[in-house]
C-alpha cells in the first residue's frame, strides 16, 4: 500500500471508533444545540483526539499499557466527573429554562473549554481505543503509518465539527422546554451508564 492510500483506512478506522454515542459526543451535541462556543468545543475535541492519535502512533500506547495504575487513576476521576455532570443534567431537566437562539448564557468560555478537555481526557477507553488500539493498527502500515494517522486525525476533525455544527443548525427548532427536559434526561442517563461501565467493567 502506498503512503497516501493509507489515509483512507486511517479515516475509516478513526470514524468507526469515534462515532459511537458516548459522554464526549453527547456533550458536543448539547453544546452545539446551545449555539455557544461551538467552534471552541469542536476544535478542542478534535485537537485533543488528534494529539492522542499521534502519540499512539509514536509509541505511547506501549508505555501506558505497562502502567495499569494510570488507567485506574483516570477511571475513577472519570467516574466522579461523569456522575457530577449527570447530576447537573438531572437538575436542568427538573428545572428547565426555555432556550433562546443564543443558548444558555450562564456558561463561560473557560468553563466550556475545561469541560471539553475533561470529557476528552478523563476516559480510559479513549486511551485504549485511540492511543493503544489505533496506534497498534497504524504501526501495521510500517512506513505509511503516519499517513494512516493523518486519516485518523482527519476523522476526528470531520466528526466533531459535523456533529457540533449539525446540532447548531437544528437549534432554532428545539427551543421548547420539553425538548431540553428530554435531552438532559437522556444525557444524564448516558453519563450514569458510562460511569457505571467505567466503575465496574474490566478495562482492556
Tens digits of per-residue pLDDT, 132-165?
Answer: 888 888 888 888 889 999 999 999 999 999 999 9
Rg (CA), the chain: 18
Report the half-sphere exposure of 138 (CA within 13 A, side-chain side): 30
Percent helix / strand / coil, the chain, rounded to 5: 80, 0, 20
Query: Between 95 and 50, where is the model more confident?
Result: 50
Query: What is the percentage of the chain residues whose pLDDT exceeds 70?
Result: 91
Q: How far apart are CA 121 and CA 127, in angstroms?
A: 8
Residue 188 pLDDT > 70: yes
Terminal Cα distance for the chain, rounded: 30
Report the half-sphere exposure of 127 (CA within 13 A, side-chain side): 24
Contact 160/49 with Cβ under 8 angstroms? yes
Amino acid at each position: 500500500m502506498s503512503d497516501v492510500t493509507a489515509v483512507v483506512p486511517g479515516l475509516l478506522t478513526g470514524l468507526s471508533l469515534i462515532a459511537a454515542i458516548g459522554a464526549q459526543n453527547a456533550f458536543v451535541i448539547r453544546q452545539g444545540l446551545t449555539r455557544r462556543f461551538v467552534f471552541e468545543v469542536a476544535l478542542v475535541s478534535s485537537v485533543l483526539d488528534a494529539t492522542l492519535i499521534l502519540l499512539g502512533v509514536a509509541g505511547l500506547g506501549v508505555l501506558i499499557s505497562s502502567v495499569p495504575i494510570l488507567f485506574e487513576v483516570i477511571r475513577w476521576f472519570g467516574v466522579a466527573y461523569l456522575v457530577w455532570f449527570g447530576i447537573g443534567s438531572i437538575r436542568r431537566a427538573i428545572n428547565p429554562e426555555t432556550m433562546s437562539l443564543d443558548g444558555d448564557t450562564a456558561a463561560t468560555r473557560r468553563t466550556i473549554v475545561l469541560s471539553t478537555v475533561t470529557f476528552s481526557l478523563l476516559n480510559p477507553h479513549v486511551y485504549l481505543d485511540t492511543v493503544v488500539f489505533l496506534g497498534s493498527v497504524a504501526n501495521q502500515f510500517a512506513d505509511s503509518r503516519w499517513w494512516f494517522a493523518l486519516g485518523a486525525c482527519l476523522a476526528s476533525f470531520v466528526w466533531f465539527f459535523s456533529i457540533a455544527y449539525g446540532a447548531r443548525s437544528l437549534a432554532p427548532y428545539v427551543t421548547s422546554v420539553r425538548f431540553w427536559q428530554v435531552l438532559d434526561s437522556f444525557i444524564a442517563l448516558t453519563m450514569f451508564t458510562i460511569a457505571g461501565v467505567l466503575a465496574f467493567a474490566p478495562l482492556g
